[in-house]
Structure formats: C-alpha cells, structure tokens
Chains A and B, each alone.
Chain A
C-alpha cells in the first residue's frame, strides 16, 4: 500500500510539474531573466536580503575608491560597464527549447573584467535603473536581486574563469563556463529567495524544487546561451583589444599574443 501510495504521489508530482512547465511556456510571451519582481517578498525578507547585500556593495565601493585614487578613468569605466551590462541584459536572445526570447544577466563578463567586488556595484547600479525605469526587479527586492545577480552571479563567473585559466583552459572555454555558472548561480539563488519569500507556512524545500523545475525550460538553455555569449565576448576582446584585458588584470602582459 505504501509503495503504491508513494508511486502515486511521484506520478502526481511529475504531472503537476509537467503542467506547470506547460503553463510557463504558454504564458511566457517573453521570458525574463531571473529578477525578483517588486512586491513579491514580504517586508522581513526584503530587509534581510538588503542587509546581506549591503556589505558586498560597501566592499565594492571601497575597492572602487582605492582604484580611482590611482586611476581617474576607473569610475567612468565602471559606470559605462554598468550601462553595457544594463543594455546586454535588455537584449533579447532566442531560447529555442522554450520557443521564446529571454535575456542574459551580463554579470559573468563584468565579474571577469572588473572582479567580483566591483561587479557587485555594477549589478547594483544596473538593477536600480532597471527597477525604476523598466519595472524589472524592484526597490523592495533590490537587495535580493543584488545577492542573486550581483554577488552569486559575479562570484560564480569570476571563480569559474579564474580556476579554469589557472589550469590552462583556453579563453573561449573559460569564458563559456564563466557565463554558464554566473547564469545558473543567479537562477539557483533567485529560486531559493523566491521560495523562502512566498512559501508562507509551507515547507521550503518542496516549493524550492518546484520553482527550479518550473524555470528549467528557459533558464537551463539560457545559461548555455549566456555561456556562448560570454565566450564570444572574451574571445573578441582577446583578439581585438588584449590591452583592455591586460589593464583589467585578466591577462598578464606576457600572455598576449604578438
């Protein structure tokens, strides 16, 4: 009886997840990257994520101040990178498996170029402009989105790139993995934040797994697409402007091809 009941429950879960994914596909005229929308988190969670994000942003600003003291062009560069990340994350790219368009996060490339600390500031700036002028994300969910996109995305992208470059993996593959991990880390942490925020009295883990499954049709291929895009960017920079990669500390001067 218990084995049959367990099977029945499993079948029900599979069907429910299938239906949810189907609804997701039919509803999604335009799928969006994982930003938590304004108002979705209760006040307590919104404040908690804000306090978790604050030290990372503060450290990023501290690093920025130190770098600006030696190079005045650094602050305009970070501002322009924020603008570039904003535009990249507004550009639609096709997600074939979902039959729709979505857009990348862009924190993988900013993590590689500027380092994770300053990339958090870049993400925070891009998120605030998106929240105010596109209703993408929000003011009350700004902290949560900084943690998922800025902190987790930048750290995952940066760490993947550094580790792979350390073991002599080529630029394209390292860039691809950086973009992939940045996107998937953002997706995972956003799902966790969302599940924690909306679960009410329900247990956390079942809802978390259902949210993960619901977004698989877009986020899984989107991660691969973001990886390909990041690889394309890194390779272009390596071929056309290696001086930029040297200035940012991504390459050592000796690594630049003649």
Chain B
C-alpha cells in the first residue's frame, strides 16, 4: 500500500504548477501517445517522463513497481500479435511435428502497442507522482466531473489507508493462527477478512457521518478553492505542449 503514497521529495520543480494544468498537459500528451503512428514518440515520452520522475524524487523501487504490470502486459501483447496476427512469416519452427510461426508484421504491430502502453503509463505515473490527491480532485472538479463522484473518491482515498491497516492486523492475526496454511483454509480466511473489512467500512461510515453532521455536513463536501493561474505556469505548460506536439509531428 506504500506505493499509493507519491513519496516524492518536496519541494520539486512541478510542485507549484497548478494541478489543473498538469492534468490538461497529461491528458493532451496521453492523446498524442495514443494517436502516434509509430513506436518512437511513445518511447520518447517514456524517457522524458522517467527522467522527470527521477528529477522530482520518485523512488526507483516505486517506479519499478508501477511499471511491472504494464511490462508484463506489453510482453503478452507482443507475443499475441507475433504468433496470431500478420501475414509475413518471420520464423517458423517444428515442435513435436507441429509447425508454429511468428509474423514480422504482427511483431511490429505488437511492439507499437507495447511502446504505447509504456509511454501512456509513464505519463499517468508522473501525474500521480507530481500531484497530491486533493489537488487532483480539485482539478477534476474544475473539469466539471460531478461533485458526488469526487466526494466518493475523497472518502475512498481517505479510508483506503485506515481500512488497509485494519486488513493488515486481521491478516497477521489469521496468518499467526495458520489461517493460510492450506488453500482451503486460506480461502476461508480471506472470505472472513474481506467480510470483516466490509463490516468495518460500514461501522466507519456510520461514525464518520455522525462526526461530520456534528460539524455541519449536509450531504455535500466543499471542493478545494482554485487560485488564479500564474502566467509562468501557463507559459511552461504551453511550451511543454508545443515541444511534445513538435516531436509528435516529427516522429
């Protein structure tokens, strides 16, 4: 769960850039990655985002963890495309009397998709590293995402850490009592753990509501106020988008 924390070192160069601008720039670059014709632009974005992540102090282990799943999925996609799509045979082999073939055009398409995955993941990861959650919520509110949904997100994010601690206490207690010694017992224990979490979520929600009503809660949470944009951050955002747009056009 520690990977949920951004763990970036403050202050960093993106700290004072408004979350709304970071969100807009990230979404625009994401669209560029998705619409790029080849693999070079996504790889350029990957490199740029990895460098920025290092500069703002994201720990290498957290970065590696974030990329582990997309890497696995990329490998699967390349394999699927290589083996099952395409016409131009790259290699063929005879395994136990049965022929298998890899296709060159399938491999190229697979590598393009893989680069797109890695490029897009790097953009969203950087956004996560560089933007505190409450500022991100304020940015979503500015983009006219419904207030009810933002409130659910805020409650969920706030209580993920609380419930996670509860879950770890229950899990350790079960583990110490050999609750996961066999698959069958493990399943039973996991069901109990998940059920207990649901009960605790319910109880926490009741006590939270009572505490919030006493503080004037009427069913809606106030959103974060937006400060006016600074001209420097607007210039920085436009400049970075222009650079990315030019590279997108060239590559």
Contact of A65 among B34, B148, B153 (CB under 8 A): B148
Contact of B69 among A23, A37, A65 (CB under 8 A): A37
Question: Given the known A-B contacts A75-B151, A83-B155, are A68 and B124 also in contact in the complex, defined by CB atoms under 8 Å?
Answer: no
For chain B residues 80-121, which have a beta carbon within 8 Å of chain A? 80-81, 83-86, 95-96, 98-100, 109, 113, 116-121
Residue of chain B at shortest CB distance from A141: B120
Q: Is B75 an interface residue (CB 8 A)?
A: yes
Residue of chain A at shortest CB distance from B116: A39
B128 adjacent to A138 (CB under 8 Å)? no
Q: Is A192 an interface residue (CB 8 A)?
A: no
Q: How would you classify the secondary structure of chain A's contact residues: helix, strand, loop or mixed?
A: helix
**How many of B's residues come within 8 Å of A, CB to CB?**
90
Contact of B100 among A19, A38, A200, A234 (CB under 8 A): A19
Band of interface residues on A: 35 or more
Question: Given the known A-B contacts A16-B84, A20-B79, A78-B152, are A40 and B124 also in contact in the complex, defined by CB atoms under 8 Å?
Answer: no
Chain B residues near A12 (CB-CB < 8 A): 98-100
A135 adjacent to B121 (CB under 8 Å)? yes
Q: Is B202 an interface residue (CB 8 A)?
A: yes
Q: Is B127 an interface residue (CB 8 A)?
A: yes
Q: Is A145 an interface residue (CB 8 A)?
A: no
Chain B residues near A244 (CB-CB < 8 A): 198-199, 202
A198 adjacent to B80 (CB under 8 Å)? yes
Question: Given the known A-B contacts A16-B84, A65-B148, A76-B208, are A91 and B167 also in contact in the complex, defined by CB atoms under 8 Å?
Answer: yes
For chain A residues 202-225, which have a beta carbon within 8 Å of chain B? 202, 206-207, 210-211, 214, 225
B190 adjacent to A232 (CB under 8 Å)? yes
Chain B residues near A122 (CB-CB < 8 A): 152
A87-119 contact mask (Cβ, 8 Å, vs B): 1 or 0? 110110110100000000010010001000000
- Inter-chain CA distance A232–B185, complex, in Å, is 11
A229 adjacent to B124 (CB under 8 Å)? no
Contact of B77 among A19, A32, A198 (CB under 8 A): A198
Can you show 7 pairs from A to B with CB atoms below 8 A apart?
A: A29-B68, A79-B155, A80-B156, A198-B77, A207-B80, A210-B84, A240-B199
